[in-house]
Structure formats: structure tokens, C-alpha cells
Amino acid sequence: MKSVAGILGSAFQDSMPQALNLERIEIQTAWGMQVLYHAKNFQRPAYLLFRHGLPHRLLPNQINFRSQAQALKQVDCGALLVTSSVGVMASDLPLFKPMLVTDLMMLDNRLPDGSTCTMFTEPSSKQGHLVVTEGLFSGELNRQIHRLAGDLIHVARQQIIFAYVPGPRTKTPVENKIWHELGAQVNSMTLAPEVILANELKIPCTGLVVGHKYSAPEIKNIADPKSMSDSLESSKYAMETLVLRFLEDGEPVSFGNRIYRFNHE
């Protein structure tokens, strides 16, 4: 039976492990050992991956993205929910409200170490071109999230375009302005490598993000500490609820893109 899985950031590490019966699993991959957590409360196999480690110890540039992707493949993941906290560059998008990503922008297809963002680093019969026909985010998985979310999710009138800007530093105001002028509404230091590598392994993906600040200097952020604290708690509850619903009721789907291989499948 195919599994479902979620990739979580540091915002989840305090409460999510307590909400689930998690079993720590070490998986050896060609890229090194990777830790997954088997959520044992559900009928379908379900896994969580804490991208920064548990507890948090990895900066975005220290994450072994290939090892993470291969570990998810080895547990036969058929539906992957990738989450991220993001900066928001569009005034018509809310803070502290989960949003579904519909497309991403990664102008230089590289991992933080400078290597090409691909699982196909050496010639082999399994290598190929990832041909993006459906999109990097599965339409069927996005529909599942909408169905599971109810009013917890922001219903956007337009596409939510994610821009990947590798860390570990944050972006300057002019950099954020350039990204927005290129068409991006949100950005962060993760998510994109995870989605691209998963697609190369034929793992369907959906992306769920929540804005914690406006990253455009002309858009005013919340100044009141209590309002900020209340909003953070509200968004944390919504994201955790959606992750739990996805692990419990999410269903694997067919891979909508394809890998073009020369003289192979």
C-alpha cells in the first residue's frame, strides 16, 4: 500500500510529535542516512519528515535534500505535502492563513551547495528529463487539500507563485521587489528543491505555505505584539490541522508529469 507523507518545518516540532504516535525510523540512502517518523495512528502508512531535524539543528543550506527525497521514495510515498513558512510580497494575500502553491520559480536550478537540483547526478538507466506537463504541484492533491481544509485555507483568486531563494540569509528589500516584479507572490529558503526532487522520483506533490510577514517594504506588517502572537497561534493551529487531516484522509494519486528517458521507459 502506498504511503502519504508530509515535510514539516521547525514551526511544527513542539506540538506535532505529541499529537501523533510517531516511530523514529532511520533509512539508509545513496545520499546518506535519513530520519523519517512513522505516524502509527492511521490505517494508511503515513510519514513525517522534519526538514531541519528534530530538534531543529539544520540551516536551509545544510539540508540533505537528495537523501530526504530518496527516503520518501523508499517508503513508497504516493502523495507528498510540503509545507513552508514564507514571506509574502503581494498585498492581496493574507498573513497567517494557509495557502496552496500552484507554481514555483527557481531561476537557477541548483541546490544550496551549488550542484544541480536533480537526483540524476551520474549516468544510469534511471536518469531522464523531468517533463512538466501537469505542473510540479498535483492538481488532484490540491483538490484534496481544498476538500479537507474547509475554511482553514485561503481561496486565492489567482495563482500563488512561490519563489525559491536559498538561504541562510534573508532577502534584501530590492531582492524581494525583483522577485515580485518577476511574478512571485511568496518566497522562502526551502520547498522548491524538495518538490523538484520528489517529482524526479515520480512522487506527486502539493505545497502548503503560510505567510509570517510581508516582505515588500511598501506593505505594512502587524505592529501589535499581541495581535502577532494571536495570529501565529491561529495559523499554527490551521496548518497542524491540515497536516493531520492529510495524513488521515489523504489519498495517493497518479503522477501527472513524466520522466523522458532515452531508449528507456
pLDDT for 234:
82
Mean pLDDT of 181-186: 95
Looking at every residue in the chain, the average pLDDT score rounds to 92
pLDDT for 224:
63
Helices (H) and strands (E) in the chain, counts: 6, 12
Mean pLDDT of 19-25: 87
Q: Is pLDDT above 90 for 235?
A: no
Domains of the chain, with CATH numbers?
3-260 (3.40.50.1580)
How sure is the predictor about 16, in pLDDT bands with cuts at 50, 70 and 90? low
- Run of H or E including 175: helix 173-181
User: What's the pLDDT tens digit per position in 119-166?
Assistant: 999 999 989 999 999 999 999 999 999 999 989 999 877 899 999 999
User: What's the pLDDT tens digit per position in 27-75?
Assistant: 999 999 999 999 998 989 999 999 999 989 999 999 999 999 999 999 9
Mean pLDDT of 101-118: 96
**Nearest by Cα to 2 from 161, 106, 141:** 141
